[in-house]
Amino acid sequence: MAHTHNKQGLKIIYRVIVIFKFFKKIFSVNEPTASEVEAGQESRAKIYPRSEHCISRAQISENALKVLQRLKKADYDAYLVGGCVRDLLLGREPKDFDVATNASPEQVKQVFRNCRIIGRRFRLAHVFFGREIIEVATFRGSETAESDRQVVHEDGRLLRDNVFGTLEEDVWRRDFTVNALYYNIRDFSVVDYTGGMQDHANAVLRLIGDPDVRYREDPVRMLRAIRFAVKLGFTLHPDTEQPIHTQAELLKSIPAARLYDEALKLFLAGYGVQTFEMLRHFGLFAMLFPDTDKCLETQDHDFPRLFLIRALENSDSRFADGKSLTPYFLLAALLWEPLQLAAEKRIQQGEHETIAYQNAANEVLSRQIKITAMPRHITQSMRDVWFLQNKFSKTFGARPYRLLEQPKFRAAYDFLQLRAETGGADPQLVDWWTRFQAADEDLRRKMTAPPKGNASKGKGKPRRYRTRKKPEAPQ
């Protein structure tokens, strides 16, 4: 009898332990505290449970949630990662949503019908939902581990890193700590290996690892540092900031097509003015637009800096108003002063003005495309805007009508307006064109009627509106 009592007592104790363990498991999944997780893949990671961060599913694109949930259902790990987590933590709407997973691209493709595998260097899966694309990347292997699939150039540049890996390895190849946060769809926690949450709270942009090595691996990270610091309103950590001053030259090794893409992100994302100032401060602007930088060094009465600032302000406010932004307008502004100097030199050497401008444009553009590879349709539009500038002074007869019909008229007129605002063109001319566009047929005819008699015909040269002094002639 006593024996059966003992047996039953043990059974009850055992059951209590099982139930206790069960509840402990449930609660630790839903509400773990931010703590070092000792074992397994997430060693050294800090886990911020849902209650300790502000990312809510309501802010996440429905399509990104679908991708995360379906990967989870198929028993894969799935996280939001990169810029979207960083932006969500700031309460901003992310530009796009990137997913990281332990599923290979082929496995991702098996889960989604609307999926395409892209990329040769590192294969990624794109999942399509109408116009929205969710990029799904398989965790990438460590950059530092010895592997025959990685190639490091002798100057330290990373040429290939196409090895799949674990989440922990994926973390260390990312650039900044705030870009290396992972939002886990399993428990809605944020996984942080690099102190990104703390840096985020302190508004600090910090490169992961040894900055010297990381900039050498990929010098574009210097441009990204400036871009994110400005966009997020973060300060650069001193260790992240310091090497930029001395390593800017490394950008010379970057292919021109990539630098063109980066230049657009730098100047056409709504923060052009601040980005421009900061790039100049670090000597990075000179790497992107050396001719323009040279002009800025010899500036006179804040010219041409003021013109560039106004052009950038113009782009920034268009961005803020949700208007379209065309790269050629700003690029035409950035290279306007080098064009002027090159054309003037040619005119002094006896070339006809029109020919001088055409040759100068060829000269300036062919130098620039070696650094930032603008596509042909962009350089053609830049030329259109430039060459139309000289035509605005012809306000008599049929010419103004023809100018009005030019496809790039509006951009060229806006360009003229910017020049006039900063002392580079006649404000009365802008005024004339503003009135001409608004005028009815009758008024247009009056405005373009040739002046009576020869009184004002061909009297002297038109005033030049550049305030810059001519460079001193060599002795």
The distance of closest approach from Cβ of residue 195 to Mg ion in the complex, given in angstroms and rounded to an integer, is: 21
**Cβ–Cβ < 8 Å for 272, 230:** no
Angle between helices 409-421 and 427-438 (to 10 degrees): 150
Regarding 218 and contact with ligand ATP (CB under 6 A), the answer is yes
CA distances from 462 to 270, 394, 429, 450 (A): 37, 11, 12, 17
Regarding 98 and contact with ligand ATP (CB under 6 A), the answer is yes
The 3-state DSSP class for residue 368 equals helix
On the 0-12 / 13-18 / 19+ scale of CB atoms within 10 A, 1 is: exposed
Token output for 335: 């290279």
Single out the catalytic residue among 175, 192, 218, 291. Answer: 175
Q: Which of 175, 262, 291, 344 binds ligand ATP (CB under 6 A)?
A: 175
Which 176-195 residues touch ligand ATP, going by CB under 6 A? 179-180
Does the annotation mark 175 as catalytic?
Answer: yes
The kind and range of the H/E element at 44 are none
Tell me the window of 12-20, 21-29, 120-128, 171-179 that interacts with ligand ATP (CB under 6 A).
Answer: 171-179
**Cβ contacts of residue 306 below 8 Å, gap of 6+?**
422, 423
Regarding 165 and contact with ligand ATP (CB under 6 A), the answer is no
Single out the catalytic residue among 96, 187, 293, 426. Answer: 96
Q: Which of 95, 370, 376, 461 binds ligand ATP (CB under 6 A)?
A: 95
If the CB atoms of residues 77 and 218 are measured against ligand ATP, the closer one turns out to be: 218
CA distances from 469 to 20, 126, 341, 445 (A): 84, 54, 11, 39
Q: Kindly write out the interface string for residues 124-163 of this chain, putting x where it contacts ligand ATP by CB under 6 A and - elsewhere.
A: ----------------------------------------
On the 0-12 / 13-18 / 19+ scale of CB atoms within 10 A, 109 is: middle
Token output for 206: 């910090």
If the CB atoms of residues 220 and 334 are measured against ligand ATP, the closer one turns out to be: 220
If the CB atoms of residues 220 and 308 are measured against ligand ATP, the closer one turns out to be: 220
If the CB atoms of residues 117 and 269 are measured against ligand ATP, the closer one turns out to be: 269
Single out the catalytic residue among 87, 98, 161, 199. Answer: 98
Q: Which of 49, 83, 243, 272 binds ligand ATP (CB under 6 A)?
A: 83
The kind and range of the H/E element at 126 are strand 124-129
**The entry of ligand ATP, Mg ion, none that residue 216 binds, CB within 5 to 8 Å by partner kind:** none
Q: Which of 49, 83, 219, 243 binds Mg ion (CB under 5 A)?
A: 83
If the CB atoms of residues 83 and 211 are measured against Mg ion, the closer one turns out to be: 83
If the CB atoms of residues 53 and 383 are measured against ligand ATP, the closer one turns out to be: 53
Rounded CA-CA distance 414/404 in Å is 13
Regarding 121 and contact with ligand ATP (CB under 6 A), the answer is no
Token output for 107: 């496995």
The 3-state DSSP class for residue 447 equals helix
**Cβ–Cβ < 8 Å for 78, 68:** yes
Q: Which of 220, 308, 332, 342 binds ligand ATP (CB under 6 A)?
A: 220
The 3-state DSSP class for residue 406 equals coil
Rounded CA-CA distance 321/316 in Å is 9
Regarding 216 and contact with ligand ATP (CB under 6 A), the answer is no
**Cβ–Cβ < 8 Å for 408, 414:** no
**The entry of Mg ion, ligand ATP, none that residue 220 binds, CB within 5 to 8 Å by partner kind:** ligand ATP
The distance of closest approach from Cβ of residue 174 to ligand ATP in the complex, given in angstroms and rounded to an integer, is: 4
If the CB atoms of residues 174 and 237 are measured against ligand ATP, the closer one turns out to be: 174
Tell me the window of 63-71, 79-87, 139-147, 165-173 that interacts with Mg ion (CB under 5 A).
Answer: 79-87
If the CB atoms of residues 141 and 424 are measured against ligand ATP, the closer one turns out to be: 141
Token output for 458: 């061909």
Regarding 181 and contact with Mg ion (CB under 5 A), the answer is no
Tell me the window of 36-44, 82-90, 202-210, 427-435 that interacts with Mg ion (CB under 5 A).
Answer: 82-90
On the 0-12 / 13-18 / 19+ scale of CB atoms within 10 A, 43 is: exposed
* Rg of the chain, C-alpha, whole Å: 30
Number of residues that bind Mg ion (CB under 5 A): 1
Beta bridge partners of 183: 80, 190
Does the annotation mark 96 as catalytic?
Answer: yes
Chain centre distance of CA 61: 21
Nearest to 78 by CA among 160, 188, 178: 188
Does the annotation mark 291 as catalytic?
Answer: no
Regarding 221 and contact with ligand ATP (CB under 6 A), the answer is yes
Regarding 141 and contact with Mg ion (CB under 5 A), the answer is no
User: Which spans of this chain sit near Mg ion (rule: CB under 5 A)?
Assistant: 83
User: Which spans of this chain sit near ligand ATP (rule: CB under 6 A)?
Assistant: 82-83, 95, 98, 174-175, 179-180, 218, 220-221
Active site residues: 96, 98, 175
